[in-house]
Amino acid sequence: MAEITLIDAIRQAMDEELARDENVFIVGEDVGKRGGVFRATVGLFDKYGEERVIDSPLAELSIVGVGIGAALYGMRPICEIQFADFIYPAFNQIVSEAAKMCYRSNGEWTVPMVIRAPYGGGIGGGLYHSQSVEAFFAHVPGLKVVVPSNPYDAKGLLKAAVRDPNPVIYLEPKKGYRLIRGEVPEGDYTVPIGPAKVTRQGSDLSVYAYGMMHYYTLQAADKLAGEGVNVEVVDLRTLYPVDKQTVLESVRKTGKALIVHEDNLTGGYGGEIAAIIAEEAFTDLDAPVRRLCGPDVPAVPFSHPLQDWFMPNPDKIAQAMRELAAY
C-alpha cells in the first residue's frame, strides 16, 4: 500500500468517482486549469474536460445553488468552496435549500451533493483563511457534516459522500493537506458516514477530536504514554449525525472526557459532545467534562505569536490531558 498525503487521498477519491459515475462533476473557483488553489483537483481538468471540472464564476452562493439544481436533476455535484471562510455567501442555499429540500417536499426531492471546503488555522492565513465552520452546519438537520483526519478516511469518506443521497459538508483540515500522510489502498473502498472511531485505546481518559486536532491529539497521547497516562482517543469523523454510542462507550470506560477543537469555545461543537456525556453518562464521570478550544475571539489572528496563542497544539493538548488525568 502506498503512503500518500491527505490532499492526494482527496484527489484520488474525486478522480475515481469521476471515472466511476458520469453524473459526478466538480464545480468551484479555479478548480479547472489551475487544479485548485490547494491543487486538490490537479490533473482532473485535463482528464475529464471543462464540462466536468467547471471553473465557476467567483460567486459561492451560486456554486452551491447551481449544484443543488443539478443534483435535483440527478447529477452528483462536488462543489468546492475555496476556503471555508468564504462559505457564508452560500449559507442560505445550504441551510434553507439543500438541508430542507427532502423534509419540505416530504421526500419528493433530495439533494445528493458534496460541498468540500478547506478549513482551519495554523497556516498564517489570518482571520479569513483560517476559520472553522463546522458548528454552523452541525446544527442543521438534513445536512451531514464530515471531517477526515487522515488520508485513508479522507478518501473513503469522500467517496461515501459522493454516493450519499443527501447534502454532505466535507471539511478538509488544510494544515494537514501535505503534513498528514498515511497508507491508502489504490482501489475502491468507502468509509461509512456516521461512525466515529476509537483510534487509540486507553483507560485513564477519553479525548474527542476531529480533523487537524485529532492528529495533534494522537501526538499528545503518545507523550502522555511516556508519563504513564493511558489516553483513549476518539476520532469523531462525522460530526452530524453524531455517533453517540461510540462517544458514550469510551467515556463509560475511562470516566473522564476532554474535547478538543480549534473552533472557538462558545457554542462550538464540543458543547454538544459535553451535553451528550452529561445527559447520558453523568454517573460514569469521575471528573467534570473539559473542553480545549480556540479562544472566543472572532477568528485566528495573522501574526505568528498571535496565531500560536489561538491554536491548540500538541503541547497544549498534553497539558489539558495531564490536568484532567490528575483530577
Q: Are 87 and 77 in contact (CB under 8 A)?
A: no
Q: Residue 193 CB, nearest distance to other proteins (Å)?
A: 11
d(CA 62, CA 232): 42
Binding site residues, other proteins, CB under 8 A: 25, 51-52, 56-57, 59, 61-62, 64-75, 77, 89, 92-93, 96-97, 100-110, 112, 141-142, 144, 165-166
Q: Residue 72 CB, nearest distance to other proteins (Å)?
A: 6
Q: How far from the centroid of its chain's Cα atoms is residue 234's Cα?
A: 14
Q: In the structure, how many helices (H) and strands (E) does the chain have?
A: 12, 14
Neighbouring CB atoms inside 10 A of 128's CB total 12
Which of 129, 139, 261, 304 is catalytic? The answer is: 129
Q: Name 292's bridge partners.
A: 260
Q: Residue 272 CB, nearest distance to other proteins (Å)?
A: 17
b/e 37-76 (16+ beta carbons within 10 angstroms → b): ebebbbebbeebeeebbbbbeeebebbbbbbbebbeeebb
Rg (CA), the chain: 19
Which stretches of the chain are assigned E, i.e. beta strand? 2-5, 24-28, 53-55, 76-80, 113-119, 144-146, 167-173, 181-184, 197-200, 205-209, 231-235, 238-240, 257-264, 290-294
Q: Are 113 and 126 in contact (CB under 8 A)?
A: no
Question: Strand 238-240 vs strand 144-146: parallel, antiparallel, or unpaired?
Answer: antiparallel
CA dihedral 26, 60, 264, 251 (to 10 degrees): -40
Q: Residue 226 CB, nearest distance to other proteins (Å)?
A: 44
Closer to other proteins at the Cβ: 74 or 226? 74
Question: Strand 24-28 vs strand 53-55: parallel, antiparallel, or unpaired?
Answer: parallel
Q: Residue 71 CB, nearest distance to other proteins (Å)?
A: 7
d(CA 90, CA 175): 23
CA dihedral 305, 309, 311, 313 (to 10 degrees): 90
Q: Residue 19 CB, nearest distance to other proteins (Å)?
A: 16
Tell me if residue 304 is catalytic. no
Catalytic residue numbers read 129
